[in-house]
Amino acid sequence: MSQNDSRTTPFDTLLVANRGEIACRVMRTARAMGLRTVAVYSDADANARHVREADEAVRLGPAAARESYLKVEAVVEAAKRTGAGAIHPGYGFLSENGAFVQALDAAGITFVGPPASAIAAMGDKSAAKARMANAGVPLVPGYHGDDQDDALLKSEADKIGYPVLLKASAGGGGKGMRVVEAPEQFQAALDGCRRESQAAFGDTRMLIEKYLTQPRHVEVQVFCDSHGNGVYLFERDCSVQRRHQKVLEEAPAPGMTAELRREMGEAAVRAAKEIGYVGAGTVEFLLDADGSFYFMEMNTRLQVEHPVTEMITGQDLVEWQLRVAMGEALPLKQEELTITGHSFEARLYAEDPEQDFLPATGKLERFAMDLKGAGLDPRQVRLDSGVETGDVVSMHYDPMLAKLIVHGDDRDQALSTLNRALAALDVQGVVTNRAFLQRLATHPAFRNVELDTRFIEKNEATLFAPKQYSIEEYAGAALIGLNQLARECESDSPWDRHDGFRLNAPHTIRISLCDPSIAQVHDAEGVVVVEGTRASGADPWDLTIGGETLTARLQHLEGDAVAVTLNGHRRRLQARRDGNVVVMVDPRGETRLFWRRIDAIDHGHHEAESTLTAPMHGTVVALLVEAGQKVEKGMPLMVMEAMKMEHTMTAPADGHVESFHFNAGDTVGQGDVLLEFAPVE
């Protein structure tokens, strides 16, 4: 039955119809309230953290979401089997599926969320715009009609004026959404959006909106109960995004006046009441530079970024959800809600920002955060995670691993805490965006609140600029490499070594250091040679780098923490080796340097690849050219999809495709050869 049904009764068992960090987070509050928890899982998640932490767990089906987490009948049957009186959907999957809510109503199971009618009202974005206009909520100019003819959509985009934003009518989370800068780009963008929308939502309808060039993305947390009460728990700024997916969020939104906060909050509550909303919801607005704001959409569920609202209000929003689902009134009235301090949330993804944010897979060899070593107060730092050391990150689901949430007395203090906490986060075995998050959080424009939804795009040159390494960074990486080589040499015969060993003379080793991005190019340019000399294993190293000599010592601390001392200057940082790459992290950011023995440097030349390999596990969506066709460098060749996002493979040089190894619909593994390519001689 719906949670706003007058027959709603308390329940003692909660099934969480989700996975990962949100499933773990919901179960944490449920247990604190004395509820028994039930997890559901796919074959890929049989030993996942949310399964391990639940009181009971039920298998839904194979790894593919459509055969497991999206199977309504399987989830309902799991609830019946375990005696769960209520289901919390988390976000994603079935959280905004009206048919799922109706199935629960029919089964007499409480849905911890809004009624199906409210989901339907906001699920169709075109119809939602009309409802919002009726409620007096400002709208962005656009086309929201039912006629989906390609020519008509193109005509409407031309009328609105470019740039325009194409959005899946049934969409969310950045899926099926693209900015079209010019008329000639429209058809290709429309085709891509429809493919993504069909794959994610089973719906290809599109709407078009005027794309504001410098808006901020500010959303309001609303909450309604079944007794007619509604409040807003203030706002969050989610302007820092990539591919229309949020990366950093903060609350409250910087620069907000009390009047603007009230206007946006009251508009959000009007929007919720217009559709008979019950539970937690988020009304998203575009805030223009002149203070005008426009309704964008309403998410009829708990948001990924809800913890920042919890941090500044002191409220547990999942507890509010569960109590409202039990038929209780809202715990607080509007005038009783207050803001304390400032909060940030950073989303940790398994992806490689240096490779166009390609999703990554693999085994987490280590997943930990050293708060004590970083001098952080655990009351001010929260890590909502769905993984632990030893877990496997698969290709089947969203690549988000965890959310790092911090709190401070003001924005500057919270931002400082965020930087230190990111530095204390140690993830090994899978490529993540942790270093990129640090670059964002320390960027001068972000610190100065120069925010809009194109923040990453506008600051791309500095966010992705080649790093200029200091002599201290070279020395730190060299120390780790030298100590490794020294340990390897301890058990070897000195007569077999080629590292400068001489009887009764200091031990000397020469190594090279360079940025990992050029490590495999075998080019001497950009390579720094370090000569390390020491008399015995107990003595410090004398490092010679570019004509400068430093006295250096390395001390191993707890975990991966080390102390690097250079000419009496001691610095603590996290340090580890990833193959021949030394990774060093401190509150100022991350340093990655490739090292090798000087006699291993190869000055050969890099040749163009004659094959194109898959950069990730995924599915081939489309082949864009034919075998034998001549192509130019950068021309799209094929489209892959992984973790609900498309990635286009392009020609590495001028030439032609000799043959494809896979067809549309085939599953490929990371490193699989996708096609044979013949570059122009």
Bridge partners of 86, per DSSP, are 14, 110
- CB contact burial 577-603 (16+ within 10 A = b; e otherwise): eeeeebbbbbbebbbbbbbbebeeeee
Element (H, E) at 107: helix 98-107
Q: Give one DSSP letter per residue of 245-307, joined into a string.
A: EEEEEEESPTT--HHHHHHHHHHHHHHHHHTT--EEEEEEEEE-TTS-EEEEEEE-S--TTHH
Q: Both tokens of residue 342?
A: 């400032």
Indicate the SS3 state at residue 70: coil
CB 632 within 8 A of CB 652: no
**Active-site residue, from 205, 301, 347, 439:** 301
Kindly state the DSSP code that residue 72 receives in the 8-state scheme: H
Distance CA 138, CA 136 (A): 6
Q: Give one DSSP letter per residue of 404-452, joined into a string.
A: EEEEESSHHHHHHHHHHHHHHEEEESS--SHHHHHHHHT-HHHHTT---
Residue with tokens 């995670």: 385
- Phi and psi at residue 443, in whole multiples of 5°? -70, 135
CB 554 within 8 A of CB 483: yes
Q: Which residues contact 440 (CB under 8 A, 6 or more apart)?
A: 240, 247, 248, 446, 456, 463
Distance CA 650, CA 639 (A): 9
Residue 387 Cα to chain centre, angstroms: 14
Residue 137: half-sphere exposure toward Cβ, Cα within 13 Å: 27
Task: List alpha helices for 442-559, DSSP H.
Answer: 444-447, 455-458, 460-463, 471-490, 516-519
Q: Are strands 86-88 and 110-111 parallel, antiparallel or unpaired?
A: parallel
Q: Give one DSSP letter per residue of 324-340, joined into a string.
A: HHTTPPPSS-GGG----
Residue 301 falls in the annotated catalytic set: yes
Distance CA 163, CA 366 (A): 44
Residue 653: half-sphere exposure toward Cβ, Cα within 13 Å: 13
CB 387 within 8 A of CB 55: no
Distance CA 524, CA 540 (A): 29
Q: Both tokens of residue 214?
A: 């410098």
Q: Tell me the residue ranges of DSSP E strands in 123-228.
A: 142-143, 164-168, 177-180, 206-210, 216-224
Distance CA 193, CA 187 (A): 10
Element (H, E) at 132: helix 125-134
Distance CA 279, CA 308 (A): 18
Task: Indicate which residues carry an active-site annotation.
Answer: 301
